[in-house]
Structure 1
Amino acid sequence: MTGDQAGPGAWAARRLREVLERDGDPDRVRRGRVYAEQGAVSRLKTQPGEVTARVAGSRSVSYRVGLITALPGAEEWQTLARALGSQPVFRAALLAGGFPPELERVFEVVGLRLLPGGLGDVVVSCSCPDWGDPCKHAAAALFVLARTLESDPLLLVEWLGRPRRELLADVRRAARSPAESADAAAALAEPEAPGVAEPDPSGGGPAGFWRAPHLPDPPRLDGAPPAVAIAGPPPAADDPDPADPGGDDPAELLAPLYQRLVRPGGPDARE
């Protein structure tokens, strides 16, 4: 399936093909694709922990292929169901027959693997005399499995050992349990960004600025001159000429600038 006709599991099928083409022997993978396209794979069956198929070879016999994966425990499945039940978008998609790619991330968060990360995650067996890993018959079975996932991605769940009806029932049940759903939602939520302290309104204005506590002294480097300390209140508003304090005290030099900054309208305001 391609384009607008792509099924709900098209992304999962693509990922499985990418794993096969990346990790498998190129020649065997190419021949396995030809076998799959020619209809050599039959009796593909998914059961807990294993996908089996029969693949016709160049001889008059067919070979039995097995694709074995590890099974999660019951507690992990319950955690997954609570997580999915707490997320309205995922829950609605699953119950409507959808299978969004973001589901893979939910599996990862609760410690489950939805798709094999590599061929090393799947134990591949074939009754043929080829010791390739995978052989062309197993490669053909994987291609057909990927094609089947396009329209029926819940086969992945059944391969991992959970009947689809049980998983969907658990998701519905979790959605009706507010406490469990809230806990699962909190586990999946992104951590909040650290807040920024609000300024103290009682310390506003120029006077409050100069009453702020001193910053700690910077670390002293060998041979470096001592840091210049800024201290002291600004000149009074009735000074004869605040723009010319007539001294070298940094506090006095900075006071007129600070007065301009805190004036309504900012430094560009009209007098």
Structure 2
Amino acid sequence: MTWWGAQWLNSLSQIDYDNRLPHGRSYANKGAVTKIEIQHGTIHAKVKGSRPRPYVVTIKVPVMPSQQTKALLDAVALDPVIISKMLNRELDPAMLEHAKRLKMAIFPTRWTDLSMACSCPDWAVPCKHLAAVIYLISREIDGNPFIVFSLKGVDLTQELAARHISIEREAKVTLPLVEDLLGQPHHHEPLVQNMSDMNDYSALDYSLLSDLAASLVSVLPANPTFFQPGDFRLIYEKGVKRVI
């Protein structure tokens, strides 16, 4: 796990009743979180539990004060090391130092920093369903640290663009669809009804693919369910380099 993903999990670090944290991690690893969306600093999710219907989870992250945000980003824009790390989809710890000097928090430090609710009957907040969602968000932040700012109500791409720094490509890494490679318009119905029918891969225009090797590695979790010892991304990256 990256240090910025671990920082997000600090919001759960002081909770130790009824083993809710291990249960939450287990829920996250086995795929109990069936839906997760982030909208304007609010996380909406559904988590499977002991009842037929999934529980509804809502987590709200407090926004950054506008004056402090401006001061932070003005300082960040003048720091070439921080910017170079961002261009590699990384956060430099120096950003936290800038934030501390401004007496502002980029990451939650305790669970009370977040407004959380779950429709389950558990009396505890956070319950294991909330913990599962927070664990999954930490994995997303691992692969894309810019989510941290989105959760705080800051459009980092836009703010830095206003300071003549572009990180749009790094912040919005997407994989091309089959329709894009085939040069065909998107359809609601799948282009291939039966995978056995798609025998001729020569129709795909692979020249449209950009070099996504580094980006793909950055969005992988460090410790997926099937690989716990060490950092899976390092092993994956070495394997890809051997193949290439």
Cα-to-partner distance string for 1:136-173 (whole Å, 9 max, x where unaligned) = 10011011111111111111100000123213314436
Indicate whether 1:12 and 2:4 are aligned.
yes
Partner of 1:33: 25
Distance 1:18 1:102, change over 3 A: same
Amino acid corresponding to residue 99 of structure 2 in structure 1 = F
In 2, the alpha carbon distance for the partners of 1:96 and 1:164 equals 15
In 2, the alpha carbon distance for the partners of 1:153 and 1:122 equals 18
In 2, the alpha carbon distance for the partners of 1:84 and 1:16 equals 20
Cα-to-partner distance string for 1:101-160 (whole Å, 9 max, x where unaligned) = 222222222232111111111111111111211011001101111111111111110000
Match of 1:163 among 155, 163, 166: 155
Judge conservation of contact 2:43–2:59 (CA < 8 Å) in 1: yes
SS of alignment partner, residue 60 of structure 1: coil
Partner of 1:252: none
Distance 1:18 1:117, change over 3 A: closer
Cα-to-partner distance string for 1:35-93 (whole Å, 9 max, x where unaligned) = 10100113222232322211111111111111112112322221111110111111222
In 1, the alpha carbon distance for the partners of 2:154 and 2:39 equals 9
Larger radius of gyration: 1
Amino acid corresponding to residue 42 of structure 1 in structure 2 = T
In 1, the alpha carbon distance for the partners of 2:154 and 2:9 equals 23
Indicate whether 1:63 and 2:83 are aligned.
no
Indicate whether 1:99 and 2:91 are aligned.
yes
Amino acid corresponding to residue 142 of structure 1 in structure 2 = I
Partner of 1:129: 121
Indicate whether 1:53 and 2:21 are aligned.
no
SS of alignment partner, residue 23 of structure 1: coil
In 2, the alpha carbon distance for the partners of 1:115 and 1:24 equals 20
SS of alignment partner, residue 114 of structure 1: coil
Judge conservation of contact 1:25–1:133 (CA < 8 Å) in 2: no
SS of alignment partner, residue 172 of structure 1: coil
Partner of 1:116: 108
- The TM-score, its normalising length taken from structure 2, stands at 0.62
In 1, the alpha carbon distance for the partners of 2:50 and 2:150 equals 31
In 2, the alpha carbon distance for the partners of 1:15 and 1:58 equals 30
Give the unaligned 5+ runs of structure 2. Answer: 166-244
Judge conservation of contact 2:37–2:43 (CA < 8 Å) in 1: yes
Cα-to-partner distance string for 1:175-232 (whole Å, 9 max, x where unaligned) = xxxxxxxxxxxxxxxxxxxxxxxxxxxxxxxxxxxxxxxxxxxxxxxxxxxxxxxxxx
How many residues align structurally? 166
In 1, the alpha carbon distance for the partners of 2:146 and 2:16 equals 25
Judge conservation of contact 1:46–1:155 (CA < 8 Å) in 2: no
Amino acid corresponding to residue 14 of structure 1 in structure 2 = A
Q: Indicate the RMSD between aligned Cα atoms, in angstroms.
A: 2.1
Distance 1:78 1:15, change over 3 A: closer
SS of alignment partner, residue 164 of structure 2: helix
Give the drift of 1:26. Answer: 4.6
In 2, the alpha carbon distance for the partners of 1:37 and 1:10 equals 18
Give the unaligned 5+ runs of structure 1. Answer: 1-8, 174-271
* Match runs of 1:194-209 below 5 Å: none
Distance 1:46 1:151, change over 3 A: same
Indicate whether 1:148 and 2:140 are aligned.
yes
In 2, the alpha carbon distance for the partners of 1:113 and 1:24 equals 23
In 2, the alpha carbon distance for the partners of 1:140 and 1:30 equals 9
